[in-house]
Copies of this chain bind each other. A is one copy, B any other.
Amino acid sequence: MVTLTEVAKRARVTAATVSNVLRNREKVRPETAERVLKAISELGYRPNLNARALAEGRSSTLALMLSNLSNPFYPEFVLAAERAARKAGHFLMVCNTDDDAEIGRAYLNQIAGTLADGVLVMNTDIAINELCISAMHSAPILLAMWEHPEAPPALPCIAVDFARAGALAAGHLLELGHREIGMLVGDGCGGLQDARSNGFRAALREAGVETDTSAELVVRDSIDSGYAACMRLMASKPSLTAIFATNDLLAIGAGQALMSMGRAIPGDVSVIGITDIQLAHQVHPALTTVAINTTAIAELSIERLIRLIQQPSQAPEMVLAPPPELVVRASTGVRRSRAR
């Protein structure tokens, strides 16, 4: 490995000068700089980022902690976060906790403040106060997707108005004439998605439509369980004309269930989800959903985290993500009077 000192020797200067060339070229005479640059390329010198991190007291890498990469939402978030981090001159370390709080804890202890200057947390399986303790004696921690804007947590966070997302979904279905609506509530790696379901229910109530709790099912986040749950739901409540799922995975599963039961979408039953993952528009019929703008949230998260690293603030700030937006595609339609 080629070191700074070797470069310095070859350029007949000292390490400090080489270091200066590498960062602010200001205080170095052009011809000296050139000599140094020449030595660098001749030797194929590459700075040791560990040494730099140690000396500078910061590593310029960020960590992103999430529960399980197998939910397609996360890769999408990671993709955007990685881009944002890279653009800001940081590396991104992905820490998958495998739905295991123990692993999350271990990661946090090892990484925060040493390998990573800050960490973005998407897990909800690790208690907030525990995270706070970590944050105390290490590095800034930011909650990347807080689902309850009305109740700011003790940590800085990006809040997403999921209640509104639920309400938008409800509004759309109501407008199409649906009154008997089944509901699939996700309870996967991200925790129970109750902000979404509450928002949905509230909107229904507000419109004077009574909500039928027997048409609600809480299920794990996955296409498979959405499929199974929808099967059960339609069996017990065949008169439903629409299905609202708190996330796209469930909605997609539900759609497949309906199709395999011979129910047309949206002819017989409409389906709507939340998030707008890639799959949502790749599936047929394309899924109507409420988009939360994953990219924007990821970028915002990275930006705030970096800011937090540069100037740690005492009061945990909550910043609101752009509001969710309804994306109408092919899986929802006007309720048809039932004639079978």
Contact = CB atoms under 8 A, between A and B. Distances in A.
A207 to B, nearest CB: 33
A46 B138 CA distance: 9
B79 A96 contact: yes
Interface in A241-277: 253, 256, 259-260
* Total identical chains: 2
B83 A75 contact: no
A43 to B, nearest CB: 9
Contacts of A138: 1, 46
Interface string A130-141: 000000011000
Contacts of A278: 70
A47 interface: yes
27 contacts: A1-B113, A46-B110, A46-B113, A46-B114, A46-B137, A46-B138, A48-B54, A48-B113, A50-B50, A70-B278, A72-B72, A74-B75, A75-B75, A78-B94, A78-B96, A79-B96, A82-B96, A83-B96, A83-B98, A86-B103, A91-B93, A91-B95, A91-B115, A92-B93, A223-B282, A256-B283, A279-B279
Nearest first, the 10 A-B pairs at minimum CB distance are A75-B75, A223-B282, A49-B114, A256-B284, A94-B94, A50-B53, A69-B79, A69-B75, A50-B54, A48-B114
